[in-house]
Amino acid sequence: MIVILIGYMGSGKSSIGKRMARKTKMKVIDLDDFIVEKENMTVPQIFENKGEVYFRKKEREYLKQLLQASENIIISVGGGTPCYGDNMEEILKSTPNVFYLKASVETLTKRLKKKKEERPLIKNIANDDLQDFIRKHLFERNFYYMQSHQIIDVDDISRKKAVKKIIKQLS
């Protein structure tokens, strides 16, 4: 079984994935971590030294590798992963368990204000402009995110509760 967690930056994909793995004893892989390990550079370093196009190329390549898995695995992908090339198509083809962790613009803004540094796409956006940026960006990305099989509203629930909901909706 493959479970895929998608959602905007700051929606809790990685931490919910890890918690779910502990609970289910499934293996978990975070696509960003996988890229970092394979490329031997952090995500900001890849963006800085090689550019976003290179990052997206590698993201796509490693995503495809991970989707070949035959074991029980939870994959948390990057916020942009479903939105490039045919990634979302490939994701949807690989499993009936694609979950969109949906957070509001307000929640995301609050969370990301504290975590901009490690995220090249928002690093240089002033805190005062962040909410508008996220609103527009999310609007564009929603087209992809909303194709998920299940939507989990993560605004007002704990990570523990989110994991419970995901497990309940597995097919």
Least Cβ distance, residue 94 to ligand S3P (angstroms)? 19
Scan residues 100-139 and list those touching ligand S3P (CB under 6 A).
119-121
Least Cβ distance, residue 43 to ligand S3P (angstroms)? 5
* 79 vs 163, beta carbon nearer ligand S3P: 79
Q: Can you give the chain as a three-state secondary structure string?
A: CEEEEECCCCCCHHHHHHHHHHHHCCEEEEHHHHHHHHHCCCHHHHHHHHCHHHHHHHHHHHHHHHHCCCCCEEEECCCCHHHCCCHHHHHHHHCCCEEEEECCHHHHHHHHHCCCCCCCCCCCCCHHHHHHHHHHHHHHHHHHHCCCCEEEECCCCCHHHHHHHHHHCCC
Pick from 16, 29, 43, 75: which binds ligand S3P (CB under 6 A)? 43
9 interacts with ligand S3P by CB under 6 A: yes
* 9 vs 154, beta carbon nearer ligand S3P: 9
Least Cβ distance, residue 100 to ligand S3P (angstroms)? 13
12 interacts with ligand S3P by CB under 6 A: no
* Distance from C-alpha of 113 to C-alpha of 10, rounded to nearest angstrom: 10
* 43 vs 73, beta carbon nearer ligand S3P: 43
Residue 67 near residue 91 (C-beta atoms within 8 A): yes
* 142 vs 168, beta carbon nearer ligand S3P: 142
Least Cβ distance, residue 118 to ligand S3P (angstroms)? 8
Scan residues 66-105 and list those touching ligand S3P (CB under 6 A).
78-80
User: Where on the chain is the footprint of ligand S3P (CB under 6 A)?
Assistant: 9, 13-14, 32, 43, 78-80, 119-121
